[in-house]
Amino acid sequence: MGRNRRRRRPDPPGPMGFLVVDKPVGMTSHDVVDEARRWFGIRKVGHLGTLDPLATGVLPLAIRGATKLVPFLAAGQKAYVGTIRLGVSTDTFDAEGKVTHEHQGPLPDEPAVKEALESFVGEIQQLPPMYSSVKKDGVPLYRLARKGEEVERELRPVTIHEISMPEYAPPDVSIDVHCSPGTYVRTLAADLGENLGCGAHLSGLQRTRSGPFTLEQARTPEAWAELADAGELEAALIPPDVALELPRVRLTAVQARKVGHGAAIPAAEATGDFETGPPPRPGDQLAALLPSGELLAVMELRPDRWLHPLRLLEGS
């Protein structure tokens, strides 16, 4: 006889949206998600991109049905400020790791460091660090690293859109980086040290932007917990259509019923933001709103000039 499994109670109903947490040092991204589940009293909470425990800053959370929108937002550009320490290499490429090499001799001068940093601008190939959540045969690399194992990893293309050095106070290099998702700033630090011939590791990092979400929108876990205790947390959610930053289409009740069942609608019958801006082109995505103003779906304009639903949110 099979063992009876207890079914989880469904989450209580409530608004969906996004919350931006200013993650402190020491917490993992999963720790923050667990905290948010307690604030809302729900299970359906996700995050848009892991931050290392050492890192701080912008960690956007998707609440309730907004978790369905993570694929549409996770590809946004990331921005970081951080500090790279020259002369010391570690096995994790950051300050939490074990020192593997200490440079003897003078450190490179400022022009050399600036030139080396600028060489990373554009599309580059990065090797994921062993201490990372990238999986090898289904096993996260960090688990293998903790056992003392090192396995072959594949280079991954990432893009460094901009990188600057606001200050050089040897041995510390202040950096400001705008990059594609999937970029490891720890690896960037280690690669910089290798290029300069002195070794380096990342000693501090703050994410200031993740896609449309910024540090100005972020609050500490303690601040969000206080709002939760006051019953004001859900009112602070960023609405899904605002986060998406897509042109909006306002559906009629009839259109909403069709879209809710997965049907496409003629673009010629839609009204929305594009009436005062550039008309959408095939391949463009739009946010389809219910007559009440809530987001129903993300839709795509196809060459047939019909709007096809890509992701439905109603009933999430």
Query: Can you give the residue ranges of every domain in the chain?
Result: 17-75+213-239, 78-210, 246-312
Of residues 61 and 131, the one with the higher pLDDT is: 61
Sequential DSSP letters for 100-131: EEE--SPPPPHHHHHHHHHTT-EEEEEPPPSS
Which is the catalytic residue, given 52, 94, 191, 241?
Answer: 52
17-75+213-239 matches 246-312 in fold: no
d(CA 27, CA 32): 7
- β-pairing, 248-250 vs 271-272, is antiparallel
Domain 78-210 falls in which CATH fold? Pseudouridine synthase (3.30.2350)
Q: Looking at residues 14-36, what average pLDDT do you find?
A: 94
| Structure-block tokens of residue 215 | 């540090």
* Range in 68-82, 129-143, 165-179 the model is least confident about: 129-143
Total residues found in the chain within this entry: 316
Residue 229 makes CB contacts below 8 A (sequence gap 6+) with none
- For domain 246-312, the CATH superfamily is PUA domain (2.30.130.10)
Residue 191 is a catalytic residue: no
Q: Looking at residues 82-97, what average pLDDT do you find?
A: 94
Of residues 173 and 156, the one with the higher pLDDT is: 173
Residue 132 has pLDDT above 60, yes or no: no
SS3 259: helix
Measure Cα distances from 125 to 116, 154, 165, 201 in Å. Answer: 15, 9, 21, 18
Query: Whose CA is closest to 40, among 15, 23, 58?
Result: 15
d(CA 18, CA 58): 12
Asked if the 17-75+213-239 domain carries CATH number 3.90.550.10, the reply is: no
Tell me which H or E stretch contains 46: strand 45-47
Give me the percent of the chain exceeding a pLDDT of 70.
88
